[in-house]
Structure 1
Amino acid sequence: MARIRTDLPDPAEIRALIDSEGRLAVRVTPGAKVESLEVSTKGLQAKVRAKPEDGKANEAVRQMLAKALGLAPSRIEMLRGATSREKLFQVNGMV
Structure 2
Amino acid sequence: MTRLTVRLTPRGGADCIDGWETDAGGRPVLKVRVRAAPTDGQANAGLLVLIARTLKIPKSDVALARGASARVKTLEITGLSEAEIRARLDLDG
Judge same fold: TM > 0.5, yes or no. yes
- Answer 1 or 2: which has greater strand percent: 2
Q: In the TM superposition, what are the counterparts of 1:18-33 in structure 2 within 5 Å?
A: 21-33=1-13
| Secondary structure of 2:68 counterpart | coil
Is the Cα contact below 8 Å between 2:20 and 2:30 reproduced in 1? Answer: yes
Shift of 1:35: 1.7
- Which of 39, 45, 65 is matched with 2:31 structurally? 45
| Secondary structure of 2:12 counterpart | coil
Q: CA RMSD in A?
A: 1.1
Which stretches in structure 2 are left out of the alignment for 5+ residues? 23-28, 82-93
Which stretches in structure 1 are left out of the alignment for 5+ residues? 1-20
Paired residues in the alignment total 75
| Secondary structure of 2:69 counterpart | coil
Mapped to 2, the partners of 1:47 and 1:73 lie a distance apart of 18
1:80 alignment partner in structure 2: 66
Shift of 1:39: 1.8
